[in-house]
Amino acid sequence: MSSYDHNPIVEMKGIEKHFGPVIALAGVSFDIRPGECHCLLGDNGAGKSTFIKTMSGVHKPTSGEMIFEGKAMNFTSPRDAMEAGIATVYQDLAMIPLMSVTRNFWMGREPVRKVGPLKFMDFAKANAVTMEEMGKMGINLRSPDQAVGTLSGGERQTVAIARAVYFGAKVLILDEPTSALGVRQTANVLATIDKVRKTGIGVVFITHNVRHAVAVGDRFTVLNRGKTLGTAQRGQITPEELQDMMAGGQEMVALEGSLGGTV
């Protein structure tokens, strides 16, 4: 059964977000279904960051409707969104490079064992789970004690993704996960996204790289100046058309006309 047979996990309808006189989102509609990768494409300044923060509980929308699992969603904080199952992996990853992979994986949720009245972190369990979950994502660590700072950028992304999956994400929002990576690391992260989608989690892949989006995306929505320009399914739109929409195709045509076709 394809993801299109499922009801959306999250629906955002006509979302507006104003910061005083600045309109960051001017009527964004978007949804994510179980087991799909829905790519949100847009250049810098298109409103992608505001969109992520609205969906993940950082910002409250000025107007519009947000529905989570069929009910109106009123998250008052990112913690509310996380507890509901919306996990966000930001570009900066919020990891501590000198700490081990295990410590970063469990940060704040460490398993505990009791010895009489005392509680200790259960390192045996924490290490075993970390190694197993990273292995599922195709990363074979030398040791769970390995410092996160020794991992490549793609491997760090995978730690953050594996952590979100293990702690029960229903929707995983990835903020430009491939923007600072080389070709091989990008391929590894895209393969990880593919694995996550196959577990039934809905993946929102935010990017300005059309090639990366087309490699894993099931649906594509283009954001331009705080508005969505429409959503297409895989096979309905070419990479060139997506790129043109992101750039504001009509503006390019006008520019070409004014420069005599030299663009």
Segments making up each domain of the chain, as ranges = 3-258
Could you state, in chain order, the average pLDDT of each consecutive group of 10 residues for the chain (263 residues)? Answer: 68 94 93 96 88 92 93 88 91 82 89 88 92 91 90 91 94 92 91 93 94 95 90 91 79 53 49
Structure confidence at residue 258 (pLDDT): 56
Structure confidence at residue 76 (pLDDT): 86
Structure confidence at residue 3 (pLDDT): 46
Structure confidence at residue 257 (pLDDT): 55
Counting other chains too, the contacts that 110-113 makes at CB distance below 8 Å and 24 or more residues apart are: none
Structure confidence at residue 2 (pLDDT): 47
**What are the tokens at 228?**
């969505």
**What are the tokens at 109?**
């949720």
Going by the DSSP 8-state scheme, the letter that residue 33 receives in this structure is: -
Determine whether domain 3-258 maps to CATH 3.40.50.300. Answer: yes
